Amino acid sequence: MTSDTFSRIALLICGLLCAAMTSSQDFSGRTGSITQRIFLFFVVFCVSISPLFAQFYEIEEIFFDEYVDSIVFEPCEEIKPMFNGGDAEVEFRKYINSTVVFPSKALKKGIHGRVVVEFVIDLDGSLIDAKVTQKAHRLLNREVLRVINASPKWTPGMQRCRHVKVRYEFPILFGKRE
């Protein structure tokens, strides 16, 4: 039974009890005592607010789901995110090595360095919030962000049997070419 159906039934019962409360008479024809009226009022009140409690628990569950979805977890113990169906460190390194193009201007000028990029694997497996945390030359930084932002989707991480956001930090080395 949905909370909407429950609310309608509760309101119907409230209406019936209110009608009974106003015309309550005992067997002698006298109007009901104050105790009877207070008791009926209490019953009507309890039945009236019960749908509110049902809705409160549904709202609490929705807020908890949104709260958990907004947390970014570090790599979790249960299931870490996977890239191309395999270990993220190995498979993502293969993707980076095959996709990164050493910028020709940097190559000509002899620029090299290590770029560390941080990103979040979202609930659907896409990479979001990519940023360079350890910079080298701007040409190298730009190339790393291009490759990271073009990455195919990952298999998202799971914690407590739910998809979660996971933050990764990944170093990329641009070495001197002979």
Judge contact between 49 and 41, C-beta under 8 A: no
Q: pLDDT digits over 80-99, tens only? A: 899 988 888 899 999 999 99
pLDDT at 160: 78
For 42-56, 112-126, 130-144, which range has the lowest pLDDT when averaged over its residues? 42-56
Angle, helices 34-70 vs 3-22, to 10°: value is 160
- Inform me whether the pLDDT recorded for 129 exceeds 90: yes
Top pLDDT among 10 and 146 is at: 146
Overall CATH class of domain 73-174 = alpha beta
CA-CA distances (angstroms) from residue 118 to 61, 87, 128, 144?
Answer: 31, 18, 9, 11
Top pLDDT among 29 and 145 is at: 145
Distance CA 130, CA 168 (A): 10
- Inform me whether the pLDDT recorded for 162 exceeds 50: yes
CA-CA distances (angstroms) from residue 95 to 128, 133, 155?
Answer: 17, 20, 15
**Domain locations in the chain as residue ranges:** 3-70, 73-174
